[in-house]
Amino acid sequence: MSILFINACVRKDSRTLRLAKHLLSKLDGEITELNLEKENIQALTQDTLAYRDTCLHCGKFGDPMLSYANQFANAETIVIAAPFWDMSFPSSLKNYIEAITVSGVTFTYVNGIPKGLCKGKKLYFVSTCGGPFTPDFGYNYIKTMAQGFYGIPETQLFTAEFLDVIGNDVEAILKAAEESIDKTF
């Protein structure tokens, strides 16, 4: 099984990364990590969008600009680690979504309806937050993209909440989150 690990964690000693690594230790397969900070994927611009459109129009699906999309399309299992930022996730992950959501590579349109072209069967989303976790603008968006665009049928969420509340036992919360991961395997 090929596992694509999309690491959108930012802080040193990231709690989200700790949980994601715990999850990855439970999965069998070869892990390829994309550290989004290192990848530094830029938001699409007038020029890069036009270039991408030209590639797609000319059938240049092997162009380096489409490498993230091709890699994502071929991954069997996907693990995304993203801290809960501003009710969603860091913008590096949004830039990544822009880079992989490519018609003709990760999805296509059939009578105007997106149809997935990805091999992936399961996408895990791992997040931690300072207060309560709300799935609306982060996890639910990723789930909608996975199921509605990429054709990845199953998604699963793991979180640890209230980590920044003064007096909370952070270690105990993280241990409980790790145990909830253990229970699903």
Ligand X SMILES: Cc1cc2nc3c(=O)[nH]c(=O)nc-3n(C[C@H](O)[C@H](O)[C@H](O)COP(=O)(O)O)c2cc1C
Contact residues toward ligand X (CB under 6 A) are 9, 11, 14-17, 83-87, 128-131, 163-164
Indicate the residue among 47 and 86 with the shorter CB distance to ligand X. 86
Tokens found for residue 157: 């969420």
User: Toward ligand X, which CB reaches closer, 103 or 134?
Assistant: 134
In terms of C-beta distances under 8 Å and separation of at least 24 residues, what long-range contacts does 52-55 make, across chains too? 52/102
Q: Which is nearer to ligand X, 1 or 87 (CB)?
A: 87
Q: Minimum distance from CB of 9 to ligand X (Å)? A: 5
| Least separation in angstroms between CB 85 and ligand X | 4
Q: What is the 3-state secondary structure (H, E, C) of the chain?
A: CEEEEEECCCCCCCHHHHHHHHHHHHCCCEEEEEEHHHHCCCCCCHHHHHHHHHHHHCCCCCCHHHHHHHHHHHCCEEEEECCCCCCCCCHHHHHHHHHHCCECCCEEEECCEEEECCCCCEEEEEEECCCCCCCCCCHHHHHHHHHHHHCCCEEEEEEECCCCCCCCCHHHHHHHHHHHHHHCC
- Other CB atoms within a 10 A radius of the CB of residue 151 amount to 19
Minimal distance, residue 75 CB to ligand X, in Å: 22
Name the residue nearer to ligand X (CB basis): 77 or 88. 88
Closest separation in Å from C-beta 21 to ligand X: 11
C-beta of 167: minimal distance to ligand X in Å?
15
Name the residue nearer to ligand X (CB basis): 120 or 138: 138
